[in-house]
Every structure is written in structure tokens, then in C-alpha cells.
């Protein structure tokens, strides 16, 4: 099996989408003969401007930092990549946030590089310019990987170049630890502060549930306090910590993932639901986008789309410990079957190898070298890889 050399362009080493969409796979991909070299920007798009400047100045500073601090060193990275002999370039999310123009992706494409583009958010829903940007990037790629079916449908013009790969977690890290408080039932939510607006949506339901002294609510995010939720009794705000992530999540008995029914929310990949499942935690969610598929209503958790439904489903799980345990076991079984890192790594390796065997996205000098070596064409290479992996399994 020929070794595939892959350049990986990410937004940053601690950016969640970079960590969970590609970086966590790198050691496993080596077992499939795929060697990766990671290129992260010295100054991520937007940087830390939102923590330093007032909101009214943030966007001006962010756009300025994009042009002055992010773009020049990023382009220097691309020129270095162009001089290297990579089989393909894995681009995790669009390379330009502002202005939304495919100048960096076009540079790689015009130099004859194969581009594997990964998208796990409905970036196209932000504006008409973003939609045009994403559509242009898709046309430049040999393969497009998305996190759910809703994203795949929105990018259906990519044709057979598109592949669906759910966001997942490394099951070897997700080992639930013993709760410190076994006398209460903890309803928990985890995520970035930008998504707290969805949790605020169900604040009336949480307020009703918190009247039960046996119910505790835990919010794990990048904030120490959320004013819109501060009036709810028995609520705890916990700042996310990478080293303590599993311990923090282990305190949760019932996971929460409310969403709104709109184009942006439909593009979300249900990652927090998969985190809950990996720890054997049942969840209640809005049946929007990938959520409806990830949570099997009545088996691994419940769907809820109104305040009354949220109160009813959560109260059922709060009262019935046996049901929580059973649904948690079902959730863990589904995770191991469909969302584990080992399962997804095999699929990702196949996608990368197939993309690297597409003749029409090969640089001329690479094509000539491949012919001299007598290597098979696109269909033969992809078929051989799948047959070989099938024999191993």
C-alpha cells in the first residue's frame, strides 16, 4: 500500500473543529499509510480580538487582523506547501473569513494541488457573499467532506465528490468518572458562549424544572456567568477546561441540546450529543438537522420542540433512574457502532485515498511519475484499498 502524503491546513491546534475533525485522527491515519503534516496559522482568523476590544470595535479589529496578521504568514505557508510533494491538501474550513474570497484556495488549485475540503458548519448561511465563497471553494476541490446530511444537501452541486463524516471523539479518552454528588439529577449543557442563545431558549422550561430541589443544572462554557440564565435556581456555571473536560461532563445525568429551526442550526453536527453518548449519558434535544438522526427518540434520549415537551421529557428522565440508565447504555452502544473514532478513521482514510487517486486533480509532474511507477488509476486504486481493508477486518 503506497504511502499518501497529506498537508493539513487547520484554524488552530485548540480550535474545536480542527481538533475533532482532523487532528485527533492523525495517529490512526498513519496506520492506513497516510502521513500528515499540520499547518496552523501563527495568528488565527479573528485572533483574540473579542476578548480585548469592545464589541463595537471588534469587527474592525478582526478584519484588520485578518489582512495584516493572518493572511501574509498563511500565504507564506501555502508557498512552502506548493514546493513540497504532497498528494493532497486537507483544508479544514474556509481559509479566508474576511473578505470571503477564495484567493488562497484558488492559489492551490491553480498550482495543480488536490484539495480535500472539510466543512462542519453552515457558513454559507451567514450572507450571500459567504454562500458564493463556499460554492466557489467546492468547485475547486477533488473531495468535500461534511459533518451531516443537511450540509450535504446544501452542497449537492458538488455531486459525487461529497462525503458525510460525523464529528466524533476519541473513545479511549471518554471514560466516565464517578459523580461527586449522587443525590441530585444534573441536567447539563456544554458548548461555546456563541451557542448559549439556544440554551436561553429553553430557560422557562429549566426554571420550572429547577423548582425540584433534586434537580441541578450545569452549564459548561467559556464564561463564568450567563446573566440570561442567572435567575434559575440550582444552576452552576463552569468554565470549560481541557484537562478536566471528562470529569466536568461526567457530572451530567441528562444532556441538553436545544436548537432553533433555521438554516444555520440545521448545519450543526450534533457534536455535544455525541460527547454525551460517548459517556453513556441520555439526552434531550431539538429534532433539528443532525440531532434528529443522532438521538433515537425513546431509545437513546428524547426529542422536544416546545416548552411543554422539554418539561415533560426531562421530568420523565429525572423521575426514572432505570430509564436514564437504560437509555445511557443504548446511547453508548450506538456511539460505538456509528460514531467511534476507530469507525470514522477507517472511513476517512478511504475518502482521502480515493481522493488522491483522481487523475483529473493530479499535478502534471505527479501524474507522469505515477505512470512511470505503473500505479493504478482512480477507480482501481480506490477499489483495491477497500478490498484490502475488507480482508483485514
In this predicted structure, what is the pLDDT of residue 285? 98
Q: How far apart are CA 291 and CA 304, in angstroms?
A: 11
In this predicted structure, what is the pLDDT of residue 65? 60
Same domain, 209 and 321: yes
Dihedral pair phi/psi, residue 186, rounded to 5°: -100, 120
Residue 16 lies in a domain: yes
Question: What is the pTM for the complete model shown?
Answer: 0.82
Residue 359 lies in a domain: yes
Same domain, 157 and 67: yes
Same domain, 161 and 210: no
In this predicted structure, what is the pLDDT of residue 67? 67
Number of structural domains the chain divides into: 2
Same domain, 124 and 269: no
Residue 179 lies in a domain: no
Q: How far apart are CA 82 and CA 89, in angstroms?
A: 10
pLDDT tens-place string over residues 272-319: 999 999 999 999 999 999 999 999 999 999 999 999 999 999 999 999
Residue 174 lies in a domain: no
Residue 33 lies in a domain: yes
Same domain, 214 and 84: no
Q: With contact defined as beta carbons under 8 Å apart, do 156 and 162 qualify?
A: yes
In this predicted structure, what is the pLDDT of residue 62? 56
In this predicted structure, what is the pLDDT of residue 64? 57
In this predicted structure, what is the pLDDT of residue 178? 79
Cα-Cα-Cα-Cα dihedral sign, residues 168, 173, 175, 180: negative
Same domain, 125 and 27: yes
Q: C-alpha cell of 138?
A: 467546492
In this predicted structure, what is the pLDDT of residue 358? 53
Q: C-alpha cell of 265?
A: 442550526
Dihedral pair phi/psi, residue 330, rounded to 5°: -65, -40
From the first residue on, what is the mean pLDDT of each consecutive set of 10 residues in the chain (393 residues)? 92 86 95 94 56 46 63 89 94 86 93 94 90 92 93 83 92 84 90 94 96 95 92 94 92 97 93 96 96 96 97 97 96 94 94 77 40 39 43 47
In this predicted structure, what is the pLDDT of residue 336? 94
Task: Give the number of other CB atoms < 10 A from CB of residue 183.
Answer: 8
Same domain, 235 and 323: yes
CATH number of the domain encompassing residue 128: 3.40.50.2000
- Residue 246 lies in domain: 185-339
Same domain, 197 and 163: no
Same domain, 289 and 333: yes
In this predicted structure, what is the pLDDT of residue 357? 81
Q: How far apart are CA 299 and CA 284, in angstroms?
A: 11
Q: C-alpha cell of 166?
A: 460525523
Residue 213 lies in a domain: yes
Same domain, 260 and 309: yes
In this predicted structure, what is the pLDDT of residue 309? 97
In this predicted structure, what is the pLDDT of residue 63? 57
Amino acid at each position: 500500500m503506497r504511502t499518501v502524503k497529506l498537508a493539513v491546513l487547520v484554524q488552530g491546534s485548540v480550535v474545536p473543529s480542527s481538533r475533532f475533525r482532523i487532528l485527533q485522527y492523525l495517529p490512526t491515519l498513519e496506520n492506513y499509510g497516510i502521513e500528515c503534516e499540520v499547518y496552523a496559522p501563527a495568528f488565527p482568523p479573528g485572533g483574540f480580538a473579542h476578548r480585548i476590544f469592545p464589541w463595537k470595535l471588534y469587527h474592525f479589529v478582526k478584519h484588520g487582523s485578518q489582512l495584516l496578521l493572518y493572511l501574509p504568514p498563511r500565504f507564506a505557508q501555502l508557498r512552502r506547501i506548493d514546493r513540497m510533494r504532497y498528494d493532497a491538501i486537507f483544508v479544514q474550513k474556509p481559509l479566508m473569513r474576511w473578505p470571503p474570497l477564495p484567493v488562497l484556495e484558488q492559489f492551490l488549485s491553480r498550482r495543480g494541488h488536490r484539495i480535500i475540503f472539510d466543512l462542519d458548519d453552515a457558513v454559507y448561511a451567514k450572507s450571500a457573499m459567504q454562500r458564493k465563497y463556499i460554492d466557489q471553494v467546492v468547485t475547486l476541490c477533488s473531495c468535500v467532506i461534511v459533518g451531516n446530511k443537511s450540509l450535504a444537501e446544501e452542497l449537492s452541486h458538488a455531486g459525487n465528490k461529497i462525503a458525510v463524516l460525523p464529528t466524533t471523539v476519541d473513545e479511549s479518552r471518554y471514560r466516565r468518572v464517578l459523580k461527586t454528588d449522587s443525590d441530585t439529577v444534573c441536567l447539563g449543557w456544554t458548548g461555546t458562549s456563541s451557542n448559549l442563545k439556544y440554551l436561553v431558549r429553553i430557560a422557562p422550561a429549566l426554571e420550572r424544572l429547577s423548582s425540584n430541589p433534586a434537580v441541578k443544572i450545569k452549564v459548561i462554557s467559556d464564561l463564568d456567568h450567563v446573566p440570561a440564565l442567572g435567575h434559575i435556581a440550582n444552576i452552576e456555571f463552569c468554565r470549560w477546561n481541557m484537562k478536566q473536560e471528562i470529569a466536568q461532563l461526567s457530572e451530567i445525568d441528562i444532556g441538553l441540546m436545544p436548537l432553533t429551526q433555521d438554516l444555520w442550526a440545521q448545519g450543526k453536527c450534533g457534536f455535544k450529543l455525541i460527547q454525551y453518548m460517548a459517556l453513556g449519558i441520555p439526552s434531550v434535544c431539538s429534532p433539528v438537522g443532525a440531532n434528529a438522526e443522532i438521538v433515537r427518540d425513546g431509545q437513546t434520549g428524547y426529542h422536544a420542540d416546545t416548552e411543554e415537551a422539554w418539561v415533560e421529557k426531562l421530568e420523565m428522565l429525572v423521575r426514572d433512574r432505570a430509564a436514564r440508565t437504560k437509555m445511557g447504555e443504548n446511547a453508548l452502544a450506538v456511539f460505538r457502532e456509528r460514531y467511534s473514532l476507530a469507525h470514522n478513521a477507517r472511513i476517512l482514510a478511504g475518502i482521502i485515498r480515493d481522493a488522491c487517486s483522481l487523475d483529473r486533480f493530479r499535478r502534471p509532474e505527479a501524474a507522469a511519475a505515477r505512470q512511470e511507477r505503473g500505479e493504478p488509476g482512480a477507480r482501481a486504486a480506490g477499489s483495491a484499498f477497500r478490498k484490502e481493508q475488507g480482508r483485514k477486518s
